[in-house]
Chains A and B, each alone.
Chain A
Amino acid sequence: MASRKTSHPNRDNEDKYSVLLPTYNERENLPLIVWLLVKYFGESGYNYEIIVIDDGSPDGTLEIAEQLQKIYGEDKILLRPREKKLGLGTAYIHGIKHATGNFIFIMDADLSHHPKFIPEFIEKQKEGNYDLVSGTRYQGNGGVYGWDLRRKLIRLRFNFLLFSTVFPSLVRSRGANFLTQVLLRPGASDLTGSFRLYKKKVLESLVERCVSKGYVFQMEMIVRARQLNYTIGEVPISFVDRVYGESKLGGNEIVSFVKGLLTLFATT
């Protein structure tokens, strides 16, 4: 084992990263995301496992996952399917139970979250020993592909409103004066994104506290993390909207927006 260390810079690292991939009808995307994960984890040499949580997809995602397990090995690809579609939030809880890593990546399986950012997440985490590292589309080189003007407007207004209404205390606590912070900061944090790296213990304690479902779940996680004074790092990511299959959470974005805001308002 010692002889291999030289070719992989991070192989002697004790940390292990469990990637949770919840899937529902991702037959076309799953092999591609797994291939990319194997590629980037392989190149950087970090210890990892991929946990696929399929909710009885009628398109046969699970069958594809089984093939992938044969190709890449049972230690790398773990299958933890459930009988029927029970939602994203509980899929994470289910996945965490089976994760053996001390760190957990949460990402979508639809290729909108690119595994090439994984090494950056890990480095960022180590840099500040952060409790969680969140990908952001609204900072630095971050951005999106495949959104029309309407979608950008809705998302940005949403992020803006959320930030300035839910987080004034956070903005103040950061030390600088409220107004300049509001002027410069709102929308910087990506509240609805879901490409994140957590310390396992932190994720467990957050998931325990979160009550909302689906779309709002991601926001609640980060709001509660701030509340509990967990430290948060950010990595700019590019977000390429899904190429294959369709969004399950999309629905009416304006309705989700109002619902999310009210939920966070009333519960945090």
Chain B
Amino acid sequence: MTKLLEWLFGVSFVLVAWAVVSFDLLDLSLPQTYREVAWPMPLYLLVSFGCYSLATVGYRVATFNDCEEAAKELQEQIKEAKEDLRKKGLKM
């Protein structure tokens, strides 16, 4: 089973469960409060997932290492390498 199918199954399962509770499809005569809580649930989940993603990505962008040192070191080594290679007879 591919990830795509797994996700389709998962999502449809959740959707069905949600519909059953919020529209009382099976006539389970659930208390009114259940339906009131379930009904806007997908929106809440979506919004909180969005917030969470934004926060994580924002945090990671802010703390992403800028490798200034590595860039400098590389520049020095490039110089050294070019010189050494010229001595060894490389024609660029």
Contact = CB atoms under 8 A, between A and B. Distances in A.
21 contacts: A27-B92, A32-B78, A32-B82, A71-B88, A141-B65, A142-B65, A143-B67, A145-B68, A149-B61, A152-B61, A152-B64, A153-B61, A160-B56, A161-B53, A166-B3, A238-B65, A240-B74, A243-B74, A243-B78, A264-B3, A266-B2
A135 B39 CA distance: 45
B51 interface: no
B4 A266 contact: yes
- What are the 8 A-B residue pairs with the smallest beta carbon separation, nearest first? A143-B65, A238-B67, A238-B70, A35-B81, A145-B67, A145-B71, A143-B67, A265-B4
A111 B57 contact: no
Interface of A: 27-28, 31-32, 35-36, 64, 67-68, 71, 111, 114, 138, 141-146, 149, 152-153, 156-157, 160-161, 165-166, 183, 186-187, 238-240, 243, 264-268
A159 B1 CA distance: 23
A243 B64 CA distance: 20
Given A165-B3, A265-B4, A157 B57 contact: yes
Given A114-B74, A266-B4, A268-B2, A145 B57 contact: no
B46 interface: no
A145 B2 contact: no
Interface string B42-80: 000000000001001100110011111111001101100
Contacts of A35: 81, 84-85
A67 B90 contact: yes
A80 B71 CA distance: 31
A166 B2 CA distance: 10
B31 interface: no
Contacts of A152: 61, 64
Interface string B29-48: 00000000000000000000
Contacts of A146: 71
A78 B75 CA distance: 27
A77 to B, nearest CB: 12
Given A143-B66, A166-B3, A265-B2, A31 B90 contact: yes
Interface residues of B, number: 30
B12 to A, nearest CB: 16
Contacts of A240: 67, 70-71, 74
Contacts of A156: 57, 60-61, 64
Contacts of A145: 66-68, 70-71
Contacts of B82: 31-32
Given A35-B81, A143-B67, A143-B70, 9 more contacts: A35-B85, A71-B88, A114-B70, A149-B61, A156-B60, A160-B56, A165-B7, A166-B3, A240-B67
A187 B77 CA distance: 31
B60 A144 contact: no
A32 B65 contact: no
Contacts of A238: 65, 67, 69-70
A239 B67 contact: yes
Contact of A144 (B66, B69, B81, B90): B66
